[in-house]
Structure 1
């Protein structure tokens, strides 16, 4: 019952649904699917359990997948909202909480520190306990502690709350792409993952739009409270996407069928494929709702033989086992390449992105952003009120500039493949950063930042696709969690380097970012091509 039947070329060209029919199964009330070979080999029929890729294809593509895209996309957007929330609240929160420049730097780094701590932990749990459970829990932690931070009376409490919220974000970002990819037929996977990544831009726009709408208004008169300023209401509103996403996952979506098959939970996986087929074929005269699946739940047994058992040491070895497996055998080369790429793009993107306002301020003094070498801080000797709306308008424009890059990725991902898009976009991003030397005005810098935003988003989208396709199911979430954790370390380092050098040696971090992006683009050519590959 568990072996696969090899088919000829003629069969392979037939539509998948026409090659199967339902027959009773002694072990099941519902029956299993058999492979009908009568068209090419007389009247002989052989019973076979479908592999994961065959089952996904047989379940069809339609309403279920688009609904999944909306729910997962909203969760992806909620992560973007939480990350960008801090940068938008700083201009007013710094006055209300009497923050120094070092305090603001610590607050900016806290979200990345939390994501670094949570990335691998959540990814490991997702590979062991299930994708949906981890998504519900991490999104709930993200939204709950993000919302509670709005009521923090002291900066230390606010900092801890944002750190814990960041741990939640660190879980949902890598797991959401693993979960989503495991419902997709391979010929549509690249396009759909690119569409999912596009929702990050939506989160940017939501955060910038909310900040523009909420923070500048005088909520003291409206709410009748002098202690609940506009930035606090903004923080509360930013927590809603995460909490509603957790609710949607809990009530509307099933566990990943690929994970269920790997865990040996065949009946549950059958139910998921049945639900997918019913939704995709609703209104059509199709009767193909039950599949027999080929499962192979041997992973935990193999790990037990390798690690043995024995208290805390055994538990620690087991937790680190996925990292060990990532850097062994055929996975070793691609893991080292991805480590370099994640470090380079995160150092460059987040290092430069968080300091664009500082560079804009320098440009207002005349010359290029690196021509002014005197000590300067836009936070000194400035009043927080009335709130200046220009920063929110610029943030909104830069967020919207992601749209062309996202559209390009969706249209070209399945044609060109993630490897080529990743390499080329990183190389062009490197060039756009280098051209900062030629900028002379604030508006030129705004245009350049929009170009950088539109091009770099292609690299991020391609990395999301490639990362999910390079690793087997039992390592997928752990790998993405590990690499995003490496990326957060790089993001913290990028912000520290800019903070130390942007005043006196501005050219150093800018050239460093350009060099890292160039390195990432060149190294990406070493990755294997994953276009239309089957998930293992």
Structure 2
């Protein structure tokens, strides 16, 4: 490419620093007097002399101007002490979320016996949580895009903590239903912890780091089962609800340490605050920021729903909505099916293809053996995570999700037959390993594919569809199962196979891709 000999003015949304080593380097100068969100930049040819960049401004005077983006800074700083700290703090939100989710499969059988609830009312206790999460996911995503990732996350966790503790004192079924719905409303903001976390990570570490966040989810589910094994036989479900809110309480105690995302600050026009955050990260990691000026790009219109359906993102948005729906539908379905199937003779189900309806006064508490088997199936998420951890950075995000859906369907098929308790536990173990691993991959893919201006909103809307799937699944796993086991299993198999196809048809593979700041950024 020949160097340009004269400058030319162009107007565009964002200037992106070219890669080092290009034959021609271009430097943008912002017109400080303009009042629009656009930047008017003078593009001029430049020669690289002794590692410095010389640019010509519109008046012909030469100045030295080195610039760097947030991506450049994070790549130089790398993954270090700061990222480990924020992994722990945001991970606490995931522990709290997973404990609140896992408690649903334990609370149902207990309340069925204590309060003589019919099966549809037991299912409604689970569904009302997801109704709250579905409505709030959109709200928290919008708040995080407009007012900050930290703001949305902290408010939602405080909300969940308050109503989580209150629900332990529910006097009657109606109160419990309402308070658990409010808990779900708060928990709906948990996915914004991934949005915040991902925006502090360098490209090379992002996939594996977000996948490792799943360790906190698994720790939460395992902790909930162990807590139930200790608490339920003696103290009862009220103590279980109260103690399950502890991780969220710890997160709220540590949230003062959390900084705001520097990407959000840059997009909001708060360049100095972004520099302060990046300086703090560099200091804690023992590194130095790149020399030069941080590129500033202010955009006032953030978190716009219409941007999700722009020409670039409408197909991605629709496919991801279905994929998130399917992951939640399948994951929480297998969690709820586990306790239901453990309480029933599998051979009787296979021969009769349905479970005999039980009288509301006839109940069966979860036994120690049930809790231990539940613990084993929960531990399946660890090997599933390890397998997908390597696949996500070698096969890519799309193929990893497709494989997880396919393997989940494959492991559901043996449940059609008459199998014993041990075989049932093994197949549920494998199915849960793959569906939980795949669920984490979509948490990696979604913040990578959406730009900063709609990243939180994209996560929020996707999470809302996941909650719809989780809302519906109790009526399949706990209600439809009593009508037809074959139909129940077929619904889960069919849904996961369709989601595998949707994963393959996603138009963008984000492996090794930098996070975009704006929808106008070119794919880097």
Q: Same fold (TM over 0.5)?
A: yes
- Of 139, 159, 162, which residue of structure 2 is paired with 1:121? 139
Indicate how the Cα distance of structure 1 residues 163 and 370 shifts in structure 2: closer, same or farther if over 3 A, else same: farther
Indicate how the Cα distance of structure 1 residues 276 and 102 shifts in structure 2: closer, same or farther if over 3 A, else same: same
Q: What is the CA–CA distance in structure 2 between the aligned matches of 1:437 and 1:383, rounded to whole Å? A: 24
Residues 1:346 and 2:328 are matched in the alignment: yes
Q: What is the deviation of 1:479? A: 1.1
Task: Assess if the C-alpha contact under 8 Å between 2:229 and 2:371 holds in 1.
Answer: yes
* Corresponding pairs, count: 474
Match of residue 312 from structure 2: 330
SS at match of 1:276: helix
- Of 344, 354, 371, which residue of structure 2 is paired with 1:373? 354
Match of residue 241 from structure 1: 247
RMSD of aligned Cα (Å)? 2.6
Q: What is the deviation of 1:46? A: 2.9
Residues 1:532 and 2:512 are matched in the alignment: yes
Match of residue 267 from structure 1: 272
Residues 1:483 and 2:462 are matched in the alignment: yes
Task: Assess if the C-alpha contact under 8 Å between 1:367 and 1:441 holds in 2.
Answer: no
Q: What is the CA–CA distance in structure 1 between the aligned matches of 2:449 and 2:343, rounded to whole Å? A: 42
Superimposed CA distance per residue, residues 492-513 of structure 1 (whole angstroms, 9 cap, x where no aligned partner): 2232234443223221121111
Residues 1:137 and 2:155 are matched in the alignment: yes
Task: Assess if the C-alpha contact under 8 Å between 1:368 and 1:441 holds in 2.
Answer: no
SS at match of 1:192: helix
Match of residue 214 from structure 1: 231
Residues 1:165 and 2:165 are matched in the alignment: no
Alignment of 1:50-65 (within 5 A): 50-65=68-83
Q: What is the CA–CA distance in structure 1 between the aligned matches of 2:92 and 2:17, rounded to whole Å? A: 41
Indicate how the Cα distance of structure 1 residues 324 and 441 shifts in structure 2: closer, same or farther if over 3 A, else same: same
Task: Assess if the C-alpha contact under 8 Å between 2:113 and 2:361 holds in 1.
Answer: no
Match of residue 434 from structure 2: 455
Which ranges in structure 2 are unaligned for 5 or more consecutive residues? 1-13, 25-45, 56-62, 517-524
Alignment of 1:18-29 (within 5 A): none
Task: Assess if the C-alpha contact under 8 Å between 1:192 and 1:410 holds in 2.
Answer: no
Residues 1:258 and 2:263 are matched in the alignment: yes
More helix by share: 1
Q: What is the deviation of 1:290? A: 7.6
Which ranges in structure 1 are unaligned for 5 or more consecutive residues? 13-34, 220-229, 304-320
Indicate how the Cα distance of structure 1 residues 198 and 499 shifts in structure 2: closer, same or farther if over 3 A, else same: same
Q: What is the CA–CA distance in structure 2 between the aligned matches of 1:120 and 1:65, rounded to whole Å? A: 27
Task: Assess if the C-alpha contact under 8 Å between 2:324 and 2:465 holds in 1.
Answer: yes
Q: What is the deviation of 1:36? A: 12
Alignment of 1:87-236 (within 5 A): 87-172=105-190, 174-217=191-234, 219=235, 230-236=236-242
Match of residue 343 from structure 2: 361
Match of residue 68 from structure 1: 86
Superimposed CA distance per residue, residues 8-28 of structure 1 (whole angstroms, 9 cap, x where no aligned partner): 43899xxxxxxxxxxxxxxxx
Q: What is the CA–CA distance in structure 2 between the aligned matches of 1:436 and 1:323, rounded to whole Å? A: 42
Q: What is the CA–CA distance in structure 2 between the aligned matches of 1:290 and 1:140, rounded to whole Å? A: 39
TM-score, length-scaled by structure 2: 0.84
Q: What is the deviation of 1:143? A: 1.4
Match of residue 491 from structure 2: 512
Indicate how the Cα distance of structure 1 residues 476 and 393 shifts in structure 2: closer, same or farther if over 3 A, else same: same
Superimposed CA distance per residue, residues 236-277 of structure 1 (whole angstroms, 9 cap, x where no aligned partner): 11011112112212x211011111111111111011100100
Superimposed CA distance per residue, residues 320-366 of structure 1 (whole angstroms, 9 cap, x where no aligned partner): x73321112110111121122122222233234312222233325x3
Task: Assess if the C-alpha contact under 8 Å between 2:54 and 2:64 holds in 1.
Answer: no
Residues 1:48 and 2:66 are matched in the alignment: yes
Match of residue 297 from structure 1: 298
TM-score, length-scaled by structure 1: 0.83
Superimposed CA distance per residue, residues 346-395 of structure 1 (whole angstroms, 9 cap, x where no aligned partner): 2233234312222233325x3554635362339652365xx622222122
Q: What is the deviation of 1:416? A: 2.3
Task: Assess if the C-alpha contact under 8 Å between 2:54 and 2:65 holds in 1.
Answer: no
Q: What is the CA–CA distance in structure 2 between the aligned matches of 1:520 and 1:61, rounded to whole Å? A: 33
Q: What is the CA–CA distance in structure 2 between the aligned matches of 1:90 and 1:42, rounded to whole Å? A: 66
Indicate how the Cα distance of structure 1 residues 522 and 273 shifts in structure 2: closer, same or farther if over 3 A, else same: same
Q: What is the deviation of 1:197? A: 2.2
